[in-house]
Every structure is written in structure tokens, then in C-alpha cells.
Structure 1
Amino acid sequence: MDEIETQVGKTKNKPIMVSVCVVTYNHGKYIGECLDHILNQERDFEIEVLIHDDASTDNAQEVIRGYQERYPDIIKPILRTENQYSKGITNISGAFNFPRAVGKYVALTDGDDYWCDPLKLKKQVSYMEAHPECVFTFHSAKVVSEDGALVNGELMRPYKQSRVVKPEELVDKAVGSPFASFLLRREIVEKLPDYYVDCPVGDRPLELMAAAAGDSYYFDEPMSVYRFAIGGSWTESQMTGDYIRKQEKFAEDLWKMYRRFDEVTGGRFHEAAMRAGGRNEFLTKVNVRDFKTIFKPEYREFFNELNLRDRFFIGFEYRMPKLYNWLRNRKNGR
């Protein structure tokens, strides 16, 4: 068999409120912590945990089987023997988890991240139950390195206060949102547009889909933890091989996504979508340190959106590259 799957429509004969969709690949070190924090959520409603493991070569599937045995009504895994991502299926949640979700809401997380607030789901569900016009809620996150050290407290904090986020704002957002913060009404993901299916990442098109459906709400609380650039992650994979070409390809793919979103929504969010595409193009130039482009006048607004620390070090590297590289190598012990 290519997979092991358990599918149960109800938990303890009660309707499921939230389908938690988890994607994992070689997350054996982390998946237990991820599942513990999901299972330890304080809630007065039922959940299911839909896991897709993409043929991990570590002990991730063994760990998942252990949780399935202990929580057979909640943990519902697909354990692959062949890697689906390598076959061109880039958005695993949409291909394998969303179609089997039966909850009123869909929550998401990668297997190497975890929820650090035991009231996370209850807060989000309570808000959405009280505000039927809200189609999507999300929040900030703590960002840590593989060893658990804090990386940047502002990296996953798109807004400075809890508030309603209008559709145009969600499309044209300067700072990324943690995937593990997402809670959407299930009807949003029941029919996936091609700009989601074809995109190399799953978070940004989901935000666009939510924007097309209505208002969102942002909690300015770090209710999850995002592990940055760990081994085997998408971010880490981008840093290997021909990094510059990968960044260029990523920018091209996201431009396609924004343009297709613009078409599908009849131009309702045209200005916001074009600004978002331009911002992403600028950020890829920052990543590859294309200083000639970074400091062009047409990108000044995007440059000023960067935090003070990033602007300082970009300017430092541009004006004094030898000193910058010497200090960086010394810091890294080289």
C-alpha cells in the first residue's frame, strides 16, 4: 500500500468543530511536541487532527502511529511510502488534508512548529462564532532557530494590535503571517483555485482566498512558535544550490499567483495585488543582496517597510562590504 489512512467523520459521536491539518516530512524530532500542544488545547468542542506525512525517512511515522494508537478518534494520518512533493504536488494540505476535513473550521500547522497558547483554538473559534462575517483569523508567532533560540520577535508580527483586517489589507500585507496561526471557515478551502494549486507555498494563496471571501481578524498575540530554516524545511531548501535562481523563480511564481488572483476576482483587489507582487519581488532582491535594485527610488517605500535593524545591516553591507563580511565571519567562527 502507498499509504495508511484513518478517516472518521465524528469524534465521540459529536460534530467536529475544527479540522487541524498537519503536514510533516522528517519532523521526527518535533512532531510529538506539535501534537502534544494540539491535544492539550483547552476547548469545549471536538477536533480532528489530519496528518499527512510525505514519506519521512526518519522516525516521524513511528511517532505518528504511536499517537494514532492512543487517540484513534482524533489522530487521522496518511503515511506515505512515496514522496508526493517530489512528484510536483507542492501544496500537500490542499491535495490530501482539505478534502477529508469535516470540521466547521480548518486550522493549519507544519509538523515542526507548535502552538504555545493552550487557549489558541478557543480564542479563534469564539471570535468567529460571534462574528459570522469573519472568514479567517490569524495571529503572531515567536520565531526560533533549530536550537530554540529566539530569532526575531517582529518577523511574524504583521500588525501591532489586535483588529479587523479588511480584504485589501490582507492582500497587500508587508509582513508574513505564521502558517500555524491560520483558522479558516472550511467552505473557503472546499474549492481550490488554480493560483493555490500552482503556487510553491501554501500560506500566501490561502490568505488571498480568505480576502476574496470577506473580513479577517488578527490577534496580536504570539500563540504559536515557528522554527526558522531547520533542516529539510522549504526555507532551508531555498538556501541550497543556485540560491539566486531559486529566488528569481520564487518571485516569478508569486507574480503569476497575484496576477491570476487578480483575474479570478475580477480586478476587485488589483492595486493591492500588484503592490504585493512588487513587494515580494523587492524582498527577493534583498535576499540576494541586489543592491543596485534595492536602492532604486521605485522600491523606497518597500525598503522603508523593513525594520530598522534590517535597514541598518543592508546599508552597512552595501557601504562597507569587506568590514561587514569580516565581522560576519568572525561571529560565525570562520
Structure 2
Amino acid sequence: MNKPDLSICIISCNQAQFIEHAVTSVLKQQTGYSLELIICDDNSADNTEQIISTLLAGTAIPFKFIRKESQAGPLHNGKDFFLLHAGGRYICWMDADDYWNYPAKVETQLKFLEQNPDYAGCFHDAEIKSLIHIQKENSHQLKTQTHGKWKFYSQFNHYSEDYFPWHALQRQIIPTASLIVRNKELHGFYERYKDINLSVSWALHLEFIKNSRFRYFNEPWSVYLDHKDGLSKKVNLLTFKLNNIKILEQLLTDSYYKTIIKDVYKAIAQEYYHLLHTREAQELPRKVFNTYCSLYKKWMKRAVEEEITSFKELNKSRQ
């Protein structure tokens, strides 16, 4: 059996109210490339499986429904897709509450990657549709973590046409449903990040873009649904920042990221900077808060020292 050109994964957990839109947006793609659809379900307690069975009955696109026997979290829910089932030359993934809104999205992105083998992937802007009414919410966490104040991802991320690893380190966030990348072996990735369950897509982006770059299309070809049941709305910012730092610390020993180590130092310092500004950090015991202050100072110092060294080397090379 021939491998598909593109393996598409939808990652779901109790998203029955949204997943029909996600699946339908895949089925509406108009492309000459071959596709396969794999739905990784994290033991949903709702009727997700029944909805999928109805939607995909008789579809021409090969599909698999993979259900976890117990909830494993986003990283391990998607693990079966990345390590076992994604047979395509290219892969992409989305959360079940996101969807595509441009029928030629896949055709356009795959055509670009076929013609430009020096790019590891390509992505695009995303429209934001918020179901959260900030004025009516009492939750500080929800108010600070909603994207409802923006209409597009490009309003709070400054994308260049060519997107490099240092852009990813700076958390110029790529909308999850927008990216298509060349398939690669990920066993090492899952071993390194086996204990994380937040910012999983960001960690994957950092992995796929190593030694390469992505192309950005300035078009909103997907929709991010901002709602109070999303995973990012259930975890406070302090926890998020500590998780992000944990991801970045893994890069300190990565052979590629060692070549741009000053950018890794900057990224870690930046995460501590934002951590210190969270309400949760401000409410910590003084000793704990001061520890985070010291860590911010440590990584900022390393970043500045490395930057100065690079400036001196550049100056020396020009003399």
C-alpha cells in the first residue's frame, strides 16, 4: 500500500461539541495529494466516537480512530500518531476545537514544500473566534489567558516570511492547525519530553525547525476557537511558564541549539521575566519569589555575556 502524501491528526478529549467542524474542514480539502486522517482520542467521556463514526462513514479518505483506555494528556495522546501511525511524507496536527477554513490550504502548502526542499515546513495566520465574554467573567486566570482581544494570531505575533528557530525560541507562536512539516523520526523527542503536558506543539515546532526554517503565508486559513474549556484556560500562567522553562532547558544540551545558545539563554530569561510578572508569582512566599528573581538574573547574565562575545567575534572577523 502506498504511503499518503499527508498524515493529518486531530487530537481530541471531550470535544464532541467542536470535533465535527474540525473533521468536516479536512474532508472539504480540494487537493490532488493523497491524505490520511488519524483521530487520537484521550478517552473522551462524551459521544466523540459516535460523531466520528457517522461523519467518516463512506469517506474516501483513509482514517483511523485511536482511543486511549485512560487519559494520558496531550503529549502522550498524540504519541501514537507521531511514532506509530503517521505514514505520510508530510504531517500536520490540530486540536479538535480548531478547524481549517480554506479548501486549498493543503494543496497550497504541500505544493510549496514540494518545490522548496530547503524548508522543513510552512504555516499561516489563524483567525481567532472567542466564545469568552471578558466583561462577564470573574476569573482572573480566564481574563488574562483569553485571546479574545485579538482577531488574528498575527496581531500579537510578528511573523517574518522566513521563520527561523530563534523566532520559535522567542515564542512567536505558530497556530497549531496551520503548520505542515516534513515527517521525521521522533523517538528521541518523546524520550526527552516524556514529562511535559503543556506547550506540546511549541516543543514539537522547536524540534521540527532545527537546522532549517519555515515559510509563513500571511493568510488566515484556519480558525482558533477561544473558549473556557480549552486546556490553556485551565492552567495558571505560573505553571505554564515553569513548563516552558523546562522545555527550553532541554535545548541546552541539544547539538543544534548549542550553536545558537545565546538565543536559548535569552528565551529562558524571557520566560522568567514573564513568570515574575504573573499574579501567581507575586503571591508566592518571598523566599520562593526571590529564588525566581535570582534565576532570572542568572539567565539574563548568561544571555548578555554570550551576546557580547558574539559581537566581539563579529568585530574581530571584520578587521
Please state which band the TM-score falls in when normalised by the shorter chain: 0.7 to 0.9
1:67-117: CA deviation from partner (whole Å, max 9, x where unpaired):
3423275221112342222xxx74422344442111010011000110111
Tell me how far 1:157 sits from its aligned partner.
Answer: 5.2
- What is the number of equivalent residue pairs in this alignment? 273
Gaps of 5+ in 2: 134-146, 284-288, 298-319
Alignment-derived partner of residue 313 in structure 1: none
Residues 65, 191 of structure 1: alpha-carbon distance in 2 compared, 3 angstrom cutoff: farther
Residues 249, 20 of structure 1: alpha-carbon distance in 2 compared, 3 angstrom cutoff: same
Checking the alignment, whether the CA contact within 8 Å between 2:25 and 2:100 is kept in structure 1 is yes
Alignment-derived partner of residue 250 in structure 1: 240
Residues 132, 188 of structure 1: alpha-carbon distance in 2 compared, 3 angstrom cutoff: farther
Residues 158, 21 of structure 1: alpha-carbon distance in 2 compared, 3 angstrom cutoff: farther
Q: Distance in 2 between matches of 1:258 and 1:160?
A: 21
Q: Distance in 2 between matches of 1:205 and 1:105?
A: 18
Tell me how far 1:160 sits from its aligned partner.
Answer: 5.1
Checking the alignment, whether the CA contact within 8 Å between 1:210 and 1:216 is kept in structure 2 is no
Checking the alignment, whether the CA contact within 8 Å between 1:184 and 1:210 is kept in structure 2 is yes
Q: Does 1:111 align with 2:96?
A: yes
Tell me how far 1:57 sits from its aligned partner.
Answer: 1.4
Residues 123, 160 of structure 1: alpha-carbon distance in 2 compared, 3 angstrom cutoff: farther
Checking the alignment, whether the CA contact within 8 Å between 1:49 and 1:76 is kept in structure 2 is yes
User: Could you say what secondary structure the match of 1:76 adopts?
Assistant: strand
Q: Distance in 2 between matches of 1:128 and 1:28?
A: 33
Letter of the structure 1 residue corresponding to residue 245 of structure 2: W
Which stretch has the larger CA shift, 155-164 or 41-50?
155-164
Checking the alignment, whether the CA contact within 8 Å between 1:134 and 1:215 is kept in structure 2 is yes
User: Could you say what secondary structure the match of 1:123 adopts?
Assistant: helix
Checking the alignment, whether the CA contact within 8 Å between 2:41 and 2:66 is kept in structure 1 is yes
The correspondence for 2:253, drawn from 251, 260, 263, is 263
Alignment-derived partner of residue 221 in structure 2: 223
Q: Does 1:70 align with 2:68?
A: no
Q: Distance in 1 between matches of 2:266 and 2:158?
A: 21
Q: Distance in 2 between matches of 1:77 and 1:39?
A: 15
Alignment-derived partner of residue 325 in structure 1: none
Q: Does 1:165 align with 2:196?
A: no
Alignment-derived partner of residue 306 in structure 1: none
Gaps of 5+ in 1: 1-9, 300-334
Alignment-derived partner of residue 312 in structure 2: none
Q: Does 1:36 align with 2:24?
A: yes
User: Could you say what secondary structure the match of 2:45 adopts?
Assistant: coil
Alignment-derived partner of residue 55 in structure 1: 43
Alignment-derived partner of residue 231 in structure 2: 234
Checking the alignment, whether the CA contact within 8 Å between 1:107 and 1:184 is kept in structure 2 is yes
Alignment-derived partner of residue 311 in structure 2: none
Letter of the structure 2 residue corresponding to residue 48 of structure 1: E
Provide the alpha-carbon RMSD of the alignment. 3.0
Checking the alignment, whether the CA contact within 8 Å between 1:67 and 1:75 is kept in structure 2 is no
Residues 144, 41 of structure 1: alpha-carbon distance in 2 compared, 3 angstrom cutoff: same
Which stretch has the larger CA shift, 19-28 or 159-168?
159-168
Alignment-derived partner of residue 196 in structure 2: 199
The correspondence for 1:209, drawn from 203, 207, 211, is 207
Checking the alignment, whether the CA contact within 8 Å between 1:146 and 1:227 is kept in structure 2 is yes
TM-score (norm 2): 0.75
What is the identity percentage for the equivalent residue pairs of Structure 1 and Structure 2?
20
> After the TM superposition, which residues 61-140 of structure 1 pair with which residues of structure 2 at under 5 Å, given as runs?
61-71=49-59, 73-85=61-73, 90-140=75-125
User: Could you say what secondary structure the match of 2:120 adopts?
Assistant: strand
